Structure 1
């Protein structure tokens, strides 16, 4: 009896060793006796009913064949840029695992593989090898969109207005080994560069799966994303760490927006918002317990991407017969999260006033220390913001005068900016001759022009007096000639 009580005490003490990993000072008391029992059980039984890596690969390829009109499949391919008929086609190299398994990605869009002025969203599953629910749920999501995009308004909205990228398994080697880390036994959610501590700064020393994600974000400008984990039921948002390594609430500059996104997911979920453990089913990562080298914070800082960490199953490795229920509980939340990139915030494009062409720049919100970059090809931007507030939106491009405007945001708002070039004095003088459209700038330029004209008139008058004096000296015949010119 004493032995049993002792084991129970130890399990409760270490209940913070969760899907996010590591020991923590979490105030939550997650009972993991079932999980610990699962970890000690036969690995074959644990994986029964789940897709193997080979099964996953075949399922992804089958989806690509079945839904080729709205999707494409890519993994370890060479990047190709091809411009034809005004459309830029491209492919991306995302990479392989340590053991060489391709990191397959499904892209869903009405124009898959074509760069458009539309936002991009990504789902990543199976970051931790022993949390496989995301592998299954993301395949179910892709197939549901394929089956319903012609009849369901939300699916249709996503296909026509978003480029959705789904990576079902970031850690296929860890899944095969039935453990948290990859083939090198490295926790991939601790392998990214960290903002507080100098760790993982040598890119060559990072895991291939980590480098694949980082290169992926260099190629595609994702507006938002989410990773799917297991071991709890909560929507987690940045920051994940604190500067002093203590457990306390530490919000990022977009704290209000992240709380809005996390709450939207939680309240769309079957029971996440009813959690007795996490208020409203959401939590700040650092308040839960700090981690360092996490993917979530890196996405926000270096990728310009607002990412949530979604814990979608209390059990890390639930029985496979529970997967349909978990999918139904998360379906609407996942769809709403993807759709949020077009249904919320402010978006638009940046143009030059002199040429009318799109000019890549950046968007900032007064009072929020975070910059969103516009796309390179179309200068399109997508700035997620919590609704019900007033915002001052500022557009900036090097070599152009910044512009700002104030909006009251209730739903998605389209806001295009037309910026004027910053010009030199010579450029202003030249434009004043051919552009008399008025305005303060034109008046200033006209003033400079008049000053120059006045100087030229004085010089001409002095030349006239000098020449007149010369005429009187040379006699009447020359005098008569000059008069005819003067008339």
Structure 2
């Protein structure tokens, strides 16, 4: 229902003064790890043997030998920039910050419109979180180049380029890689350096590592739907929660547990042998059930960024020989591609509009029975809600100043498009008009809100201004007006001489 603006009751002079005045306004433990009761060994076939093999924890010289054939940080930077030159039509190269020692953290974005905000989901891969787990950084460069070489003829690669903004950070910890150690140059485990939901650790921003701060800033700048970080030392897809409130080891489910299990299974089942693991049923595990950690990156993504992140252990051996990298790529290729595509191939996607003017509303989406809210984008009011398939969901769209709307859908194997048109609440039309304009043009700032509100008032009162000005003219020129009226409508035209 539209609400008509009320006219002023303060009198003609006040209206005139207000309207005319407008002209003067100014415009530790690792996954697969060391320090666990049991340690894993084995080859690419996924078999495990229980022993106490440590993966050359303190033997830097031995790791240097194993690192032969891996890209150095300089090699990696050259590879990223070379990719940008070769595949510039579908990519953008940018940095999210620098490591403790000043090494740029380069990102490859792959899309048919790289760097442009669109109403489509974003996915990110992060590699080399731990310096001594380098397989991910190698596979991510291979992934980027494979998409570039095949997106014209491969349907899955083409789907990703056209429907997803894919961001690839090959190394989060270049310093740790150079030093052949787990932590960064400041000897901090970056996967324990994020704010934690259960315990007050790492809550001082200045105390966090530059790599951690770079990720946190990145999450504010890009609205990721889902993501995955690549680790080594085991073969399993790990999902939240990573920690428990009582610090005990047991299954601790997050609100989207079913969806996370589906995403983890997507990676595991497309992998060559991850799903056949004897240690982890179906090749997936709840993090807290494996062993609790605190200050982890995947829980932070989910809680603070609306991003569903997995922690992927993609190599039983942390430092496999470089000659094994092509095989590891083949084992993980389809898993990586299908996981990235899942942000557009699965779940519910749509936009939220206002019934008042048809404009986008940056509202939010919630699912009945799942205590988790997904916010729509500010520019296009698009939302992307990942959900496990083959289920019935009650979907609610809402925004302050508007009446919420809900509907029930049955989500089958693919994605569903679902738009919402919300009606303004009674008496809130003026507020939501101004708020909607501000949310869609956030660079305008507070002044934009004030000027927009005043412009709306001026437009609604323009008619009254014209009437007021006309009345003043009539009063000032009243007699002349009467004389002219008499001559035009009175006796026939004749010549008169006034004495």
Cross-structure match for 1:19: 31
Q: Is the 8 A contact 2:39 2:51 kept in 1?
A: no
Q: Which has the higher contact order (CA 8 A, sep 6+)?
A: 2
| Residue of structure 2 equivalent to 1:418 | 421
Instruction: Identify the match of residue 117 of structure 2 among 115, 132, 138.
Output: 115
Contact (CA 8 Å) 1:27, 1:288: kept in 2 or not?
no
How has the CA–CA distance of structure 1 residues 337 and 30 changed in structure 2, closer, same or farther, with 3 Å as cutoff? farther
Distance in 1 (CA, whole Å) between partners of 2:258 and 2:344 is 18
The range that moved more, 31-40 or 325-334, is: 31-40
Following superposition of structure 1 onto structure 2, how do residues 69-218 of structure 1 map, counting pairs within 5 Å? 69-75=89-95, 94-218=96-220
Residue 256 (structure 1) shift? 0.2
CA contact (8 A) 2:183 2:189 kept: yes
TM-score by length of 1: 0.78
- Secondary structure of 1:124's aligned partner: strand
Q: Which runs of 5+ in 1 are unaligned?
A: 1-15, 76-93, 428-487
Partner residue of 1:54?
74
Deviations 1:32-52 (A, max 9, x none): 526248946523212100000
Secondary structure of 2:97's match? coil
Report the aligned-residue RMSD.
Answer: 1.8
Distance in structure 1 (CA, Å) of the matches to 2:114 and 2:152: 16
Show the 5 A alignment for 1:472-483: none
C-alpha distance in 2 between matches for 1:357 and 1:306: 28
SS in 2 for 1:33: coil
| C-alpha separation in 2, matches of 1:212 and 1:57 | 18
User: Within 2, Cα distance between the matches of 1:105 and 1:183?
Assistant: 20
Name the residue aligned to 1:407: 409
1:65 and 2:85 matched: yes
Distance 1:244 1:137 in 2: 37
Q: Distance in 2 between matches of 1:419 and 1:374?
A: 14
Q: 1:352 aligns with which of 346, 351, 354?
A: 354
SS in 2 for 1:72: strand
Residue 292 of structure 1: how far off its partner (Å): 0.1
Which of 295, 298, 312 is equivalent to 1:296? 298
> Which stretches of structure 1, 4 residues or more, deviate above 6 A after TM superposition?
25-29
What SS is found at the alignment partner of 2:105?
coil
Change (3 A) 1:32 1:327: farther
Which residues of structure 2 form unaligned runs of 5+? 1-27, 41-48, 431-499
Match of 1:371 in 2: 373
Conserved in 2, the CA contact under 8 Å of 1:24 and 1:290?
no
Cross-structure match for 2:471: none
SS in 2 for 1:209: helix
Distance in 1 of aligned mates of 2:105 and 2:255: 32
Q: 1-side partners of 2:97 and 2:30: how far apart?
A: 28
Number of corresponding residues: 394
Relative to structure 1, the CA distance from residue 95 to residue 126 in structure 2 (aligned partners, 3 Å threshold; closer, same or farther) is same
CA contact (8 A) 2:34 2:54 kept: no
When residues 229 and 355 of structure 1 are mapped into structure 2, their CA distance, relative to the original with a 3 A threshold, is same
- The answer for the alignment partner of 2:253 in structure 1 is 251
